[in-house]
Structure 1
Amino acid sequence: MNAVVGSRKHFSVAINWAAQPIEWHLEQYGSWLLMDDHYTGCLGASSVLGHLIDTVNGVCVDKRERVAPRCKINDTHADAVSDMLLSLMTNENLKVQKWLKIVIMFYVEFKSEATIAKQLGISEFSVARDKMLGMVRLATKYQFRSRIIGA
């Protein structure tokens, strides 16, 4: 397998995935997206000042419902997580893609299970179940450490 894709390494070798559980990598990627202009389209503000002005004017631009951890990753790490998620969403079947969508909404977008359930029109139990199934699929496919499976 070619370990270099374009100008960057394949996600499986670009970073040390075993250093932290996969949940940590996903949350860190979500935090990275919130920095600078990485997530401008979703947040609606490209700077702290813009966010403060919007907040004073009563505009809600930050859709997070859970507190994001402080970002501790660099652009290369974020690219590896992004490439891994893109690969999964491209190569998995529709059922697994549904599970992964919930995983992304929870860990990367920091949405609550209740909001995810409301947005997708399913029960909170279904969200919790599908989130767990998505994490198990993710962890077992690439042999990642995970808090859910205790590996």
Structure 2
Amino acid sequence: MNAVLKNDRKHFSVAINWAEKPIEWHLEQYGSWLLLDDNYMGCLGASSVLGHLIDTVDGVCVDNRERVAPLCKINDAHADAVSDMLESIMKCENSKVQKWLKVVIMFYIEFKSEESIARKLGVSEYSVTRDKMLGMVRLATKYQFRSRIIGA
């Protein structure tokens, strides 16, 4: 595996210390980082996988969170690593896992409530809770991340 991508950007697996905090922390921090200084607009374009998931019908939606975002404690390189990891997993997984990951992104990065995610996707809150858990388990097991869900 090549540790350096275009523009001398390190591969997400070596760019940051993933073991330092659980994956949920990294995702929430990335969501908080997106809310700072137009990071959302600068990093997630229309062609981005994450940009496509977060954009709404009426255009870019910067701050429609329904849960309190934590204070951002990451830098741009850390945010780039999380973004690269999410783009990588979204590209290589099947549609069922992508659906789980979409719920994970809506909950941890967009700070949506389970109720509103269920309403938006037209499913039950139980389905949202299940899909969020399955998405987190897939992330944690695929890349051997620490996670609150699996207690690792």
The verdict on a shared fold, with TM-score over 0.5 as the criterion, is yes
Q: TM-score, normalised by structure 2?
A: 0.86
Structure 1, unmatched stretches of 5+, are: 44-61
Deviation readout 1:18-46 (Å, 9 max, x if unpaired): 00000000000000000001124322xxx
2-side partners of 1:88 and 1:147: how far apart? 20
Q: TM-score, normalised by structure 1?
A: 0.87
User: What is the match of residue 138 of structure 2?
Assistant: 137
SS in 2 for 1:71: coil
SS in 1 for 2:39: coil
- Matched pairs, number: 133
Calculate percent identity across the aligned residue pairs: 80
Aligned-pair CA distance for 1:8: 0.2
User: What is the match of residue 31 of structure 1?
Assistant: 32
1-side partners of 2:97 and 2:3: how far apart? 25
Asked whether 1:120 is paired with 2:139, we answer no
Aligned-pair CA distance for 1:65: 0.3
Higher alpha-carbon Rg: 1
Q: For 1:72-91, what aligned pairs fall within 5 Å after superposition?
A: 72-91=73-92
2-side partners of 1:96 and 1:148: how far apart? 17
2-side partners of 1:124 and 1:16: how far apart? 33
1-side partners of 2:135 and 2:71: how far apart? 24
SS in 2 for 1:24: helix
Structure 2, unmatched stretches of 5+, are: 42-59
User: What is the match of residue 42 of structure 1?
Assistant: 61
RMSD: 0.7
User: What is the match of residue 110 of structure 1?
Assistant: 111
Q: For 1:92-107, what aligned pairs fall within 5 Å after superposition?
A: 92-107=93-108
SS in 1 for 2:80: helix
User: What is the match of residue 12 of structure 1?
Assistant: 13
Runs ≥4 residues deviating over 4 A:
none
Which residue identity is paired with 1:2? N
Which residue identity is paired with 1:15? I
